[in-house]
Every structure is written in C-alpha cells, then in structure tokens.
Structure 1
Amino acid sequence: MGWTLRYTGHLGLRGPEAPLFRHSARSADPFDQIDRLADLGFAGVQDNYAAFRAPEDQARIAAHATRRGLVMGSFVHDPAHWNQPCWSVVGAEARAALDAALTHSLETAQRIGGTVITCVTGRDPHADLLRQRTAMAENLRRAGDRAARAGVKLCVEATAAAWLPDMLVDSLDTALAIVRAADHPAVRLMFDAGHVAMDGADILAAYRRVQGLIGAVQLADMPRDGSVGRIDVGGGRTDWVPFLNAVRADGYDGLFEIEHEPETDSAEGEALLIARLAGVDRALSGTVGG
C-alpha cells in the first residue's frame, strides 16, 4: 500500500503486551508486528516501552526493523515513572537520579537508532506549579547538551487533563512555555493532535501557534459523540486534511505516529483502522498548503 505520509504503528501504548496489530499480525511478538507494519507500507515503528526492554532485545528489534525498511519512532523516557514528578526535581540527589535515567534513555536511543524521546511527567500536588514547571525547563536545558551530542530530541508532550489527570504539562500552552524557557535546540514539542483536540483546541490553529518548535507529530481522532477518548484517524470529528497539509507545507519530514488503539479490539477493528487512515491519506491534496 502506498502512503502520502510516513506513518508508524506502535508496539503498545498501555503496555508492550498490546501492540497495534495484535489480532491481524501473526502474533503480538515485536518481529511479527514489524513485519505487519512493513507489509502495510508504513515507514516506522514506535516502541513506547523500548527503555523497558533488555539491551539485547532493543538491538534485535531495531535490527529487524531496519531489515524491513522501517525507522524507529519515539519512545517514552523513564516509562516506569512517567507519571511521577521526575522532570521537575531540584537538589543534587534528585538531579543525579534524573541524570541516571537520562543516561539510560540515551543509551536506549543509541541501540535502537531512535532520535525522539518523549518527555511526560506528573506533578507534585504539594508544590507550586510554576516552580515545578520552571524546574522542568531548567532540567531540560541541562539535559539538552547531552541529547544534542547523541543526536536526540527531547520532546515535551502536553497531555489533556480529561484523559490523564495530575500531569504537570496539562496544556499545549504550558508545554510551549517550558520549551521556550528551556531555550535549547534539542528540546522540542511533541505535537500530539489527540491530546490537543481533547483539550478543546482546534488542531490547525494550535499548530500554527507552535510551528517551528515541533520535534514530532502524533495522531489520534476524537469520538463523534463528544466523549473523551482516542480513536482511529478518520473515524471521528477531527478535520485532518487541512492540518496534515499544513504540517507538510511547513517542511516537516518526520514520522506521523499512530498514537491510538483500534476503536474495536479485533482483527476487523484493525482492518477498519487501516481503511480509515487510507481514506484520510487519499484525501490529502496534491498541492500542500494550509
């Protein structure tokens, strides 16, 4: 199947045991998932939990992806503590722990050939929010030099409070403020269109506000009934074509990561996901523009 954009599938969003095509691939094994993605003509594979895997498994998965012509997408920094206030720490001991976790993430990136590390973090309910966000920006600035030397971007992701409560970066504007305060070329935004839309924003207008600071793009649609959720691209109420054409026109040449699970947990649901995505992809205009 030919695609206009460079899409990825994932090896699990809620955990590595639930990859995107666990019903229609031969198995949930990463090799079988990679084969399915390659057979579909996808450009990459996203392994959120890469940092959980043993070093030899990281290398094996990345090597198989390369054999099948796929590149590695983003993965989550320190997935064991993703919802803890790790990026907003202060003090020598806490920052030493943060540095150790960053070392592990950078080593993971080197083994898999990844260039995007997703940075999400919880908040301390007993500490001042502004101080926590200021500390996060300072820690990202400190980490930026190490990331740059490794050829990696640290991408700050805003998560919608309706989906993930108690997170420190709970709006795109907050993420933008942190990235600007960090003021480092290796610290960028993860533009998760699903979280942006879930927060009530028009994704095209939101993109216009932050373009030039985006390191990676993730996609999920919103249910038509107005409920909170993340469903198949093309299956909900998001107007994808002007947004995706604007991103293309802006010169973005990275991956478009499918950051959701099938609306229906079945082989039929996975087939519908592909059909909906293909419909959106076909609708993209030949002349890019916003």
Structure 2
Amino acid sequence: MTRFSANLGFLWQDRPLPDAIRAAKAAGFDAVECHWPYATAPGEVVAALAETGLPILGLNTRRGDIEAGENGLSALVGREDEARAAIDEALAYAAHVKAANVHVMAGFAQGQAAHRRFVAALRYACDQEAKRGISILIEPLNHYDAPGYFLATTDQAAEIIAEVGAPNLKLMFDCYHVQLMEGDLTHRLERLRPIIGHIQFAGVPDRGPPDAGEVSYAHVFKAIERLGYKAPLGAEYKPGGPTDDTLAWMAAYRP
C-alpha cells in the first residue's frame, strides 16, 4: 500500500510545527517532513513526534539571506563557511529529532566554480553524516519557480552523485520539478531508482493537490510501487486554502 508523508513546509502552515505534526497524524499521514524547522525548539518537535508516533523524513539546510532572495548556500563561491555552518546546523537538528534525511540546498549559482563548491560541500556533509546515520539529499528545482538555481535536472544530479562517490548521498526526486523540466516520470524513476533517497509530488503545473493537473499520479504511484520503493511519498503541494479541505486525493490513491 502506498504511504504518504505530509510536507509541513506547505501543509498546515496556519499553525505551529508541533500542531501541524498532530494535524498530519489526524489526517492519516504516515510520516512528516519539513523545510526549515529552526524557529521551533527541537524538543517540541520530538515531543509531537513521540505523541503521534510519526517519523520525520527530512529537513533542509537554511536558504541564506531570505530578504536578498537566496535559496541555499552550498554552491555559492565565497560563502563556504556559511554553507558549512548551515550543514552542521541541519545535521544537528536532524539528529535531535531523528530525521532520516537532510536536503543540502545548492543556491543560485552557475559555472564550474559553483560546481566544485557544491561537490566539496556535499563531500563535507556526507563525511559528517557518516557519524550520525543521516542521508544527504540533493534536489533539482525547475527553472520556472527557481530560475538560476544551480541544480536543475536529474541528469546533473546523477553526475554529481557519481562524482562525490559517497553511498549516503541520494537524489530527492520531486515529480513536480522533474515533470516541468524533463517529463517522462515513470521511465526516469525506473532508471534513477538506485540513487533515489526520497520522492515528492504535487499537481503540475500549479503545484496544487495531486488529483488535478497534467500528471496521472494514480499511474505514477503504481509505477513506484512496482519498483519496490516502500518509503512514504512526500506530499509537497500548496493547498491554496485550509489543508484539511484538500485531502480527498489521499483516500483515492490509497485504497
């Protein structure tokens, strides 16, 4: 049976993170994940997870200067110390709440110097992760929502994963971003399955609930199940209103 994780970066944003975890449990989700939980004391998250029995699948490194529009630091030349500090912070928080994964965000950058910087940052993160049992994820973002983001395609991500050469570095395969940039979701999922560490989804092209738009998620979820992928799939969509009013898809896709 397909299982689902609530991405609390988008879902139940009208309440504090611990209460959002409780809402996810009440709605029938099997796990939770988040973007940037740092404003919430990790002990509060641990308490909510213990109360609900939900695992937390992942969180992101900080974006950097949000007012300046930054969206990650690890590929930015000259920001190495800040990038390493963001990785350290994310790994420490993840270890405290027992999150399975940390997504290391690349940021807006281009060129070979940025590539070398990102690879070096990932090698550092993977070395640190080996002490904690946390996987490192990288995620291609589409150029409509994140123009200029360093990591844009699954092929680029696969090349970087091979270059870093660490078994704990995996691909976050977000069906929404991949469909907008590359399409051919089920064949890409099959080809990339050995390096996939987490799968997310949302309706395309509006990033709304997955029961509308150009992607047949009933078909995609069955394909993922055939590949033997057992972990909960991350619902990372923008509800456009009260989250509880947008959850009919879950019963439909999980008979």
- Residues 103-122 of structure 1, C-alpha deviation per residue, up to 9 Å, x if partnerless? 11111011111011112222
Q: For 1:1-290, what aligned pairs fall within 5 Å after superposition?
A: 4-13=1-10, 20-21=11-12, 28-50=15-37, 52-54=38-40, 57-80=41-64, 83=70, 86-89=73-76, 94-124=79-109, 129-222=111-204, 228-262=205-239, 264-266=240-242, 270-271=244-245, 273-282=246-255
For residue 72 of structure 1, report the CA deviation from its aligned partner. 0.8
- Structure number with bigger Rg: 1
Cα 1:36/1:249, change in 2 over 3 Å: same
For residue 242 of structure 1, report the CA deviation from its aligned partner. 3.4
Higher relative contact order (CA 8 A, sep 6+): 2
Distance (whole Å) between structure 2 residues aligned to residue 31 and residue 135 of structure 1: 35
Query: What is the one-letter code of the residue matched to 2:6?
Result: G
Query: What is the one-letter code of the residue matched to 2:19?
Result: D
Contact 2:104-2:136 at 8 Å conserved across structures: yes
Query: What is the one-letter code of the residue matched to 2:49?
Result: A
Query: What is the one-letter code of the residue matched to 1:60?
Result: E
Cα 1:21/1:101, change in 2 over 3 Å: closer
Question: Structure 1: which 5+ residue stretches go unaligned?
Answer: 14-19, 223-227, 283-290
Contact 2:139-2:157 at 8 Å conserved across structures: yes
Distance (whole Å) between structure 2 residues aligned to residue 67 and residue 170 of structure 1: 38
Query: What is the one-letter code of the residue matched to 1:274?
Result: L
Contact 1:134-1:178 at 8 Å conserved across structures: no
For residue 35 of structure 1, report the CA deviation from its aligned partner. 2.1
Aligned residues: 252
Query: What is the one-letter code of the residue matched to 1:10?
Result: N
Cα 1:89/1:6, change in 2 over 3 Å: same
For residue 85 of structure 1, report the CA deviation from its aligned partner. 6.2
Query: What is the one-letter code of the residue matched to 1:74?
Result: G
Contact 2:77-2:113 at 8 Å conserved across structures: no
Query: What is the one-letter code of the residue matched to 2:2?
Result: L
SS in 2 for 1:149: coil
Contact 1:163-1:229 at 8 Å conserved across structures: no
SS in 2 for 1:117: strand
Structure 1 residues 236-245 or 194-203, which shifts more?
236-245
Q: TM-score, normalised by structure 1?
A: 0.79
Q: TM-score, normalised by structure 2?
A: 0.89
Identity %: 21
Contact 2:63-2:73 at 8 Å conserved across structures: no
SS in 1 for 2:130: helix
Question: Structure 2: which 5+ residue stretches go unaligned?
Answer: none
Distance (whole Å) between structure 2 residues aligned to residue 35 and residue 99 of structure 1: 32
For residue 96 of structure 1, report the CA deviation from its aligned partner. 3.6
For residue 280 of structure 1, report the CA deviation from its aligned partner. 2.2
Contact 1:85-1:122 at 8 Å conserved across structures: yes
